[in-house]
A and B are shown apart, each in its own frame.
Chain A
């Protein structure tokens, strides 16, 4: 929530087509949106992020609400774009040819070297931790931790109640912790 006090004016400028406003919205949200999609194992994350922001730009004149509403709206769009992407892939089985296998191995095992240097987990390790959560638990975890949404805003994205979100987040944390204790 880095825009805070500037949110209203930034949104107003974004609606009129001010490039600076879109730049700050993008800076604020592109990282978390990408992280959310990556956490879900979405295909072509960069494309999906672009698609999400274009949808936001297209519909921003219809949006009403505060920054929390805005963020949950953006993640709702990201979620839909991801579902569309999966749907359009249909039953396509991911084929890994030799070139792709190299790229994939590098990306998923070694990670982005630059980025990896600053973090302690590779994407593979992250997925090893969160992939066995149930879909709802993973969704809550990503919305709360990666997207920085409040319980109320996460509930809006998931179209559920705050109570349900609290229950899910507790279960997700318990499952993660149990994993930790098992490993240790």
Chain B
């Protein structure tokens, strides 16, 4: 009924608005001060009631939980907006993505604790904040639908594996294919672990380390691969304990051979580091190399003689 009369009352107010109020009284009414015209006091009180009925002061606990989320989002995107031009290098896109992923991990981690602290308010807000943060990762990724979708899937899991994969993609698109592969292996290894708390911590540490690196040249890629290999190595250690026992036996037996063939082995030093017993056990792709390496080492003369 009142909606219908809206136009009508508008017309009337158009006619008499200047007679009803001085601008001063209108300003007083709207900013909560008492008007000079006493006949407007009812309206003054009504406006005060409208305001106090609509405005609900935020819950203190909820506010401080939410403030931490807001601060993480602002900090992440601030780093994005104003990359510190250290050494004149332009911040690479992956670096921003890693920072965003870490922020998301931090938010979801905090959210669990926050939920426990501030029961009722938290659950809904929490999912909301994480969603939004994930959305921001998507935006950082260039905003394409595919990326957003992918990031959201990862966020749904809210897990480190997801962060690793996302980071892997970012690395790959920046040309660090080897590092990306290493990260994917690490992600697989972490995912296959049922009790992966310490592995998760390692992965987080690595992501933080990556975010803190300025260089993104070949050394960086190599360092990422190395760290990823360590992580997936640790992940497989438990599963492969028996297999490693055997491999270690071989490796120990060969240590003497290496010692004897010191001079010859210099050229192969890098190969030995990578081809170390543990590392080979870690990467499922080269199971055969375990068998091969001792052979080569056991016959140093042949190796030397061939070239």
Q: Which residue of B lies closest to A150 (CB)?
A: B31
Interface positions, chain B 42-60, Cβ under 8 Å from A, are: 42-43, 46-47, 49-58
Residues of A within 8 A of B56 (CB): 31, 34-35, 38, 112, 115
Interface positions, chain A 34-90, Cβ under 8 Å from B, are: 34-36, 38-39, 46-47, 50-51, 53-54, 56-62
Q: With an 8 A cutoff between CB atoms, is B78 at the interface?
A: yes
11 sample A-B contacts, Cβ–Cβ < 8 Å, listed by A number: A17-B71, A17-B76, A21-B71, A23-B63, A34-B54, A47-B124, A60-B78, A120-B49, A123-B53, A126-B49, A174-B13
Counting contact residues on chain A (CB < 8 A from B), the size range is 35 or more
Known: A31-B57, A47-B124, A51-B128. A131 touches B2 (CB 8 A): yes
In the assembled complex, the Cα of A111 lies from the Cα of B200 at a distance in Å of: 46
Q: Is the CB of B23 within 8 A of A166?
A: yes
Q: With an 8 A cutoff between CB atoms, is B91 at the interface?
A: no
Interface string of A152-181 (1 = CB under 8 A from B): 000000000000001101110111111010
Counting contact residues on chain B (CB < 8 A from A), the size range is 35 or more
In the assembled complex, the Cα of A21 lies from the Cα of B6 at a distance in Å of: 43
Interface positions, chain A 99-145, Cβ under 8 Å from B, are: 111-112, 115, 118-123, 125-126, 128-134, 137, 141-142, 144-145
Return the contact of A27 from the options B18, B63, B77 (Cβ within 8 A).
B63
Residues of B within 8 A of A22 (CB): 66-68, 70-71, 74
Residues of A within 8 A of B133 (CB): 54
Q: With an 8 A cutoff between CB atoms, is B90 at the interface?
A: no
Known: A30-B58, A50-B125, A145-B30. A173 touches B53 (CB 8 A): no
Return the contact of B74 from the options A15, A120, A121, A128 (Cβ within 8 A).
A15
Residues of B within 8 A of A30 (CB): 58, 63
Q: Is the CB of A133 within 8 A of B6?
A: yes
Q: Is the CB of B9 within 8 A of A132?
A: yes
Chain A residues in the interface with B (C-beta under 8 A) = 14-23, 26-27, 30-32, 34-36, 38-39, 46-47, 50-51, 53-54, 56-62, 111-112, 115, 118-123, 125-126, 128-134, 137, 141-142, 144-146, 148, 151, 166-167, 169-171, 173-178, 180, 184
Closest 6 CB pairs of A and B: A17-B75, A35-B54, A174-B13, A35-B55, A132-B2, A23-B67
Chain B residues in the interface with A (C-beta under 8 A) = 2-3, 5-6, 9-10, 12-14, 16-18, 20-21, 23, 26-27, 29-32, 40, 42-43, 46-47, 49-58, 63-64, 66-78, 81-82, 124-125, 128-129, 132-133, 136
In the assembled complex, the Cα of A73 lies from the Cα of B23 at a distance in Å of: 26
Q: Is the CB of A175 within 8 A of B43?
A: no
Residues of B within 8 A of A58 (CB): 73-74, 77, 132, 136
Q: Distance in Å from the Cβ of A137 to the closest Cβ of chain B?
A: 8
Q: Is the CB of A26 within 8 A of B43?
A: no
Q: Which residue of A lies closest to B19 (CB)?
A: A174
Residues of B within 8 A of A60 (CB): 74, 78
Q: In the complex, which of the residues B18, B58, B125 has the most CB atoms of chain A within 10 Å of its own CB atom?
A: B58
